[in-house]
C-alpha cells in the first residue's frame, strides 16, 4: 500500500520522491504508523489528501 499511495501522491504533486523515500525509511526503521499518518505528522500533506486517496482507491476497487 505504501508504494501505491506514495506513487499517487507524487503523480498528484502532493509529495516529492524524496519525501516518499523519507516516509518509507521511517517505516523501515520500525515506525508502525501508516504511510499517510507519517506524511501528515511531518506536515507533508493534509488529512484531506489521505482521505481523497482512500476515496479514489475505494471507488476503483468497487469497479473491479
Q: How confident is the model at residue 59 (pLDDT cuts 50, 70, 90)?
A: confident
Residue located via cell numbers 509529495: 15
Q: Which of 25, 63, 17 is nearest to 33 (CA)?
A: 25
Q: Which domain holds residue 19?
A: 2-63
- Pairwise pLDDT comparison (10 vs 2), residue with the higher score: 10
pTM, full prediction:
0.83
Cell numbers linked to 15: 509529495
The structural domain count of the chain equals 1
What pLDDT band is residue 56 in, cutting at 50, 70 and 90?
Answer: confident
Amino acid at each position: 500500500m505504501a508504494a501505491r499511495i506514495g506513487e499517487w501522491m507524487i503523480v498528484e504533486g502532493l509529495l516529492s520522491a524524496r519525501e516518499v523515500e523519507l516516509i518509507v525509511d521511517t517505516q523501515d526503521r520500525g515506525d508502525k504508523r501508516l504511510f499517510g499518518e507519517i506524511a501528515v505528522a511531518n506536515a507533508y500533506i493534509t488529512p484531506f489528501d489521505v482521505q481523497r486517496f482512500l476515496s479514489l482507491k475505494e471507488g476503483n476497487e468497487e469497479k473491479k
